[in-house]
């Protein structure tokens, strides 16, 4: 018995040494002796000089974080310009909501974009939810438009309508994204089934066609649903009252976007949790991913979800052999650009300056080639939306530029 106990202790100690041995340099950083499993720090003189650290024996938490940063380059940094109005049918129209533009693709010599469209005022949850319009994205259909130059657009009509009464998408279809794969086109989007109450659970639908002009065939069932492990408290229509919150996406799955990646299809989405809290001054919003072998599914949620601790609308694109993501609006890492070599484990690559907050609900221009040395070139121009007022929204054009240096006004940059 004593021998067996000694073996257990020995294996336990070996485990500690193995797990910590690769993460510290005790001989170089005495402060780490108090915390033997701190991440490995780069204590090279070059790194210390770069961050102005002159005494490596006394490191603040901020200095430790800086020394753990895998890079300090500026290839990912962008400044966004002021949004500009579009011309033609996508110009602002009184009484109309056009919002959440999809990515832009180019087919038949024309740019194509899809978006949510509804009309009339929204009353919130205080009116008659069976008759009224709750939000601007309520009672939407998915429309599309084309353009020769990306400025003047022609509205072509409805691409995907709401479903028949009783269907999972009978109330609204909105926040659409486009993916072309081989010779087929796929639209993924949010769906709501009536009645649209506070505790309604949004889902994700899919439609496909052999032409960007349709006709589109819709999936009979959602391709993605919220987790079913939260428990509401009581019968009151209050989404903050729960007995159990459940997974990060136990209430809603939003803003879907499908990307082909490494021979599979990655469906990125925003998760909303039952009993959602305010965190770091913003809503507790996180992103997840579900993966399939076929564009039509079935999609299986990653075991590593959630894959972000911040964000709002999904904005992802392939670059440098991995997947990049623009994280906006909510959470401790909001207004950052992140990248994951495997499409799952994201690390911050750049921050977006607050006076140039990135546009909402970005529709990326997927016709832009993104070289490895300019991984954010996809933001050269694209589409977004703006709130003209609480009842009317319009689609706008955004643009941005890379910035790698800063100089005082009037000073010439050195060559």
| 404 has a pLDDT exceeding 50 | yes
Q: Pick 118 or 11 by higher pLDDT.
A: 118
Q: Residue 355 has what pLDDT?
A: 66
Residue range 243-253: mean pLDDT, rounded: 97
Highest-scoring range by mean pLDDT, 41-45, 273-277, 347-351, 392-396: 392-396
Q: Which position has the higher pLDDT, 322 or 74?
A: 322
What value does the mean pLDDT take over residues 6-22? 40
Query: What's the pLDDT at 189?
Result: 98
Domains observed in the chain:
2-68 (no CATH), 78-402 (2.115.10.20)
Q: Which residue has the higher pLDDT, 402 or 118?
A: 118
pTM of structure:
0.88
What confidence score (pLDDT) does residue 413 get?
Answer: 66
Residues 100-124, mean pLDDT to the nearest whole number: 97
Rank 101-110, 272-281, 355-364 by mean pLDDT and report only the highest: 101-110
How confident is the prediction for the chain on average, in pLDDT? 89
Q: Which residue has the higher pLDDT, 50 or 176?
A: 176
Query: What pLDDT digit, counting tens, does each position of 32-60 carry?
Result: 344 445 568 889 998 899 889 999 999 99
User: How many other C-beta atoms are found inside a 10 Å radius of the C-beta of residue 116?
Assistant: 28
394 pLDDT above the threshold of 70: yes
pLDDT at residue 415, as a whole number: 60
Paired tokens of 54:
């002159």
Lowest mean pLDDT among 120-124, 187-191, 304-308: 120-124
SS3 of the chain: CHHHHHHHHHHHHHHHHHHHHCCCCCCCCHHHHHCCCCCCCCCCHHHHHHCCCCCCCCCCHHHHHHHHCCCCCCCCCEEECCCEECEECCCCCCCEEEECCCCEEEECCEEEEEEEEEECCCCHHHCCCCCCCCCCCCCCEEEEEEECCCCEEEEEEEEECCCCCCCCCCCEEEEEEEEEECCEEEEEEEEECCCCCCCCCCEEEEEEECCCCCCCEECCCCCECCCCCCEECCCCCCCCCEEECCCCCCCEEEEEEEEEECCEEEEEEEEECCCCCEECCEECCEEEEEEECCCCCCCEECCCCCCCCCCCCCCEEEECCEEEEEECCCCCCCCEEEEECCCCCCEEEEECCHHHCCCCCCECECCCCCCCCCCCHHHCEEEEEEECCCCCEEEEEEEEEECCCCCCCCCCCCC
For residues 268-291, average pLDDT: 93
Report, as an integer, the average pLDDT of 233-239: 92
Q: Quick one: pLDDT at residue 4? A: 45
> Percentage of the chain with pLDDT > 90?
76
Is residue 23's pLDDT more than 80? Answer: no
Q: Which of 26-30, 214-218, 397-401 comes out lowest in average pLDDT?
A: 26-30
pLDDT band at 69 (very low <50, low <70, confident <90, very high): confident
């Amino acid at each position: 018995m004593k021998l067996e106990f000694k073996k257990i202790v020995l294996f336990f100690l070996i485990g500690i040494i193995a797990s910590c041995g690769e993460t510290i340099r005790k001989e170089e950083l005495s402060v780490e002796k108090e915390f033997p499993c701190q991440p490995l720090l780069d204590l090279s003189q070059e790194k210390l000089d770069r961050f102005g650290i002159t005494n490596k024996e006394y490191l603040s938490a901020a200095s430790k974080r800086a020394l753990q940063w895998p890079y300090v380059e500026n290839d990912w940094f962008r400044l966004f310009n002021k949004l500009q109005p579009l011309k033609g049918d996508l110009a602002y129209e009184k009484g109309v909501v056009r919002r959440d533009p999809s990515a832009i693709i180019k087919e038949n010599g024309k740019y194509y974009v899809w978006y949510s469209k509804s009309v009339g005022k929204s009353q919130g949850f205080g009116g008659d939810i069976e008759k009224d319009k709750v939000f601007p994205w309520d009672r939407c259909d998915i429309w599309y438009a084309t353009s020769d130059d990306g400025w003047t657009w022609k509205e072509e009509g409805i691409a995907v309508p709401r479903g028949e009464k009783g269907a999972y998408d009978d109330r609204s279809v909105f926040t659409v994204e486009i993916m072309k794969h081989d010779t087929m086109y796929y639209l993924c989007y949010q769906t709501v089934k009536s009645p649209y109450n506070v505790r309604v659970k949004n889902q994700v639908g899919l439609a496909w066609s052999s032409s960007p002009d349709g006709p589109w065939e819709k999936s009979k069932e959602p391709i993605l649903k919220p987790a079913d492990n939260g428990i509401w408290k009581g019968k009151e229509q209050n989404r903050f009252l729960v007995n159990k919150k459940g997974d990060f996406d136990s209430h809603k799955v939003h803003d879907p976007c499908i990307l082909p990646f490494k021979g599979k299809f990655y469906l990125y989405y925003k998760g909303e949790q039952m009993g959602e809290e305010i965190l770091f001054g913003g809503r507790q919003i996180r992103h997840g991913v579900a993966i399939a072998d076929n564009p039509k599914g079935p999609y299986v949620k990653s075991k590593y979800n959630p894959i972000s601790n911040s964000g709002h609308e999904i904005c992802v694109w392939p670059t440098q052999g991995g997947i990049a993501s623009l994280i906006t609006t909510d959470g401790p890492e909001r207004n950052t650009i992140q990248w994951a070599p495997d499409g799952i484990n994201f690390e911050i690559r750049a921050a977006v300056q607050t006076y140039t907050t990135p546009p909402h609900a970005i529709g990326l221009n997927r016709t832009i080639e993104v070289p490895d040395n300019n991984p954010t070139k996809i933001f050269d121009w694209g589409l977004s939306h703006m709130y003209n007022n609480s009842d009317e929204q319009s689609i706008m054009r955004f643009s941005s530029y890379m910035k790698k240096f800063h100089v005082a006004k009037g000073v010439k940059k050195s060559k």
